[in-house]
Structure 1
Amino acid sequence: MPFPPGLSFLTEVSVSVGEPVEVGPTPEGHRRMVPITGGTVRGPSLNGRVLPGGADYQFLRGPTLTELDARYVLETDDGHRIFVHNTALRHGSARDIELLNSGVAVDPSLIYFRCWPRLTTASPALDWLNTRLTLGTGVRQPGQVVISIFTVD
């Protein structure tokens, strides 16, 4: 009999983003880079901020599907740093994805936005993050992406 894993809420990360840098259509699909300019981290296990300087490297596979590959650093309120490598899929109707990609808010229930944030740290106090699988859901809002992160029990 299958034993499905449970999920425990870890934190919510609100990532502030800048204007996309369009690379344009390549032989593989449309590419663009979205700079990460900061943000906040709030939850029962982690609180702090998103450091500026990261980026989300996007691959628009077609009018309804975007692959996301974001890399950035969190800093907890007590000074520990966590590297985040977040891969995600965002899927919706062609119109809704077009609106999202142009910075317009779209009802989150119309968008499938799931992610696998991998969290790594050198901090002995947070070493447990190095041994946990995390999954998340995302919501794209004007100027930010809000990610709810859960540990897999």
Structure 2
Amino acid sequence: MSESIRPGLEFVYEAGGALGAPIAIGDTPDGTRRIIPIFSGPVEGPRIRGKLIGSGADWQVTRSDGVTVADATYAMETDDGVVIQIRNRGLRHGPAEVMQRLARGEEVDPADYYFRTIPEFIAPIGKYDWLNRSVFVCTGARYANAIRLWVWRVT
């Protein structure tokens, strides 16, 4: 394989957001569903700065194999006033005792579990339309009342 076709990663930003109390939907044919409200928090990175804006949510399902499938839709407002929509889908899982500690709201080292997502951006034409033309990957950390995300562009 030629090194020229090997993808790389370019760090884009780190974001943090406050989370609301989970809203239980309950057991469904595909797993246990709940909604996690996402509120504001900072966005800081070399190519983009701003804040997450409220009224977003993660519509999660936890499958019978213990894997939580995240499907979050929220928005950010850049420090120059541009609003960008984000849909972030991915997986979170780990050893049962680690996931139980997370569920109890305990502080858990993000290295102890797998939390990876694929954010998709809808940015207006202009300064940030480069977000519409790339693939991104994200690592995450879940805390009792907050979330932290690190986003990279695949080059």
Give TM class, smaller chain.
over 0.9
Aligned pair count?
153
Match of 1:23 in 2: 25
**2:79 is matched with which residue?**
77
CA contact 1:80–1:123 (8 Å) conserved in 2: no
Q: What SS does the corresponding residue of 1:52 show, helix, strand or coil?
A: strand
Shift in Å at residue 63 of structure 1?
5.7
Q: Which residue of 1 aligns with 2:66?
A: 64
AA partner of residue 57 (structure 2): A
Aligned equivalent of 1:138: 140
Q: Which runs of 5+ in 1 are unaligned?
A: none
Alignment of 1:3-152 (within 5 A): 3-62=5-64, 64-152=66-154
* CA shift digits 1:17-36 (9 cap, x unpaired): 11100111112110000001
Output the aligned Cα RMSD.
1.3
**Secondary structure at the residue paired with 2:6?**
coil
- Alpha-carbon distance in structure 2 between the residues aligned to 1:150 and 1:55: 21
The two structures have a TM-score, normalised by structure 1, of: 0.95
Q: Structure 2: give runs of 5+ residues left out of the alignment.
A: none
SS at match of 2:149: strand
Task: Give distance in 2, aligned partners of 1:123 and 1:101.
Answer: 40
Instruction: State the Cα deviation string for residues 1-56 of structure 1 (Å, max 9, x = none).
Output: 15320000000011211110011111211000000111110111111111100000
SS in 2 for 1:104: coil
